[in-house]
Amino acid sequence: MTRLFNFNPGPAALPQSVLEKAQNAILEVDGWGAGIMEVSHRSPQFENMLAEMQVKMRRIMNIPDDYHILFCQGGARMQFAMIPMNFLHTSAAYVDTGTWSDKGIEASELIGETRVVASSKEQNYNHIPAADPSWLQGDESYFHITSNNTIYGTQWHNFPDTGDVPFVIDMSSDIASDVVDFSQFDMIYAGAQKNIGAAGVTLVLIKDEFAQKAKADHLPPMLRYSTFIESNSLYNTPPVWNIFIVKLMIDWLEEAGGLEAIGKRNREKAAALYSVIDESPTFFKGHATEDSRSIMNITFNLPSVELEKKLVADATAAGFMGIKGHRSVGGIRVSNYNAVTVEAVAQLTAFLKDFAKRNG
């Protein structure tokens, strides 16, 4: 058994204690007489577990009372479709900060008038555009951004005020990674597989007032948010196992001291990783501009593709996995999600500094 230091961009590392609890629930959940995958989603056992988990999640993540907590399937990509199908009545405004924003825009354009109000594409998405009051006219159905851009390693650190325009945010790669004021958004969604669970379930937080604005009677029930709201996500058989892993992650977040503690830890881990770039900026060339740096994904290039290949090979040999950059940027990407340990980051940081010394 050799678990490597795991910096995968997603699906990503999970905490060892969560994995051990998951193992224990496979043959039998305490007193259920069956494993977690073998019990009806309509049993009192599962319904109670779901309800208790939602209460705890609301508390730990500070989700306002008028936001529904939903569990959907199909990842952020299905949300890219469902959002305009339910809510695009006038026009939608999107900021394009990378591949995932772009895929959201692509889906929205098939449904209705979609305006890209800002984009950092020309600079290979190396920054988050500065907020500009001219982005919105005020009659938009919603405004959409991607809070963290895994591929490019950029992240919004201040959110624009959208006035009366509903604010929809894809937080797939930074949900529950730090304290955030959800009340500034009308809808928050996130695939679970980076910070709060395993692939196969999507967390959707939706303000009731916004949910009411959907026009969805023409859609099959599975594509309406109202279906998930009215059934508490039990309209059809949900991904029971995947929801259970989210529950274990919420328990883990609580044990770790909540979002304040986890946010502090993530920022400290990121600072250690960015110190590698800042100490040798001509060797480790950061992709993101400083004020747009992501706490979740640290991206940089080396002086040559050969050195990048050597770094990935040496790191793999030394027991680090998942640091090869996405093909759009090349180079190196270190993902620093909730479950990445301080120890793993310390080891990698030392390794990188040593690599620079030996090869710089």
Binding interface with a copy of itself (CB under 8 A): 1-4, 6, 8-14, 16, 19-20, 22-23, 26-28, 33-35, 37-41, 73-78, 80-81, 84-85, 103, 106-107, 110-111, 191, 193, 198-201, 218-223, 235-242, 245, 319, 321-322
Nearer to a copy of itself, 127 or 194 (CB): 194
Which is closer to a copy of itself, CB of 77 or CB of 89? 77
Question: Is there a catalytic annotation at residue 207?
Answer: no
Cα-Cα-Cα-Cα dihedral sign, residues 251, 78, 200, 241: positive
Q: What's the CA gap between 175 and 158, in Å, rounded?
A: 15
Q: Can you state the angle between helices 75-87 and 99-109, rounded to 10 degrees?
A: 40
Give Dmax (Cα) for the chain.
Answer: 64
C-beta of 32 vs 159, nearer to a copy of itself: 32
**Minimum CB–partner distance for residue 360 and a copy of itself (Å):** 28
Q: Which of 96, 100, 186, 247 is catalytic?
A: 100
Question: What region does 325 belong to: left with phi over 0, alpha with psi -120 to 50, or beta?
Answer: beta
The least distance separating a copy of itself from the CB of residue 32, rounded to whole angstroms, comes to 9
Query: What whole-number distance in Å separates Cα of residue 239 and Cα of residue 72?
Result: 9
CB of 215 to a copy of itself, least distance (A): 13
Token code pair at residue 113: 């008038």
Q: Would you call 170 a catalytic residue per the annotation?
A: yes
Catalytic residue among 96, 135, 170, 247: 170
Q: Which is nearer to a copy of itself, 105 or 277 (CB)?
A: 105
Answer for the pair 233, 188: CB distance below 8 angstroms, yes or no: no
**Min dist. Cβ of residue 31 to a copy of itself (A):** 9
* Shortest Cβ 17–a copy of itself spacing (Å): 11
Query: Can you list the positions of beta strands (E) in 156-314?
Result: 167-170, 187-191, 202-207, 285-286, 297-301
**R_g of the chain, CA atoms, integer Å:** 21
Q: Which of 194, 207, 247, 324 is catalytic?
A: 194
CB-nearer residue toward a copy of itself: 73 or 341: 73
| AA identity, residue 321 | M
Give catalytic status of residue 100 as yes or no: yes
Catalytic residue IDs:
100, 170, 194
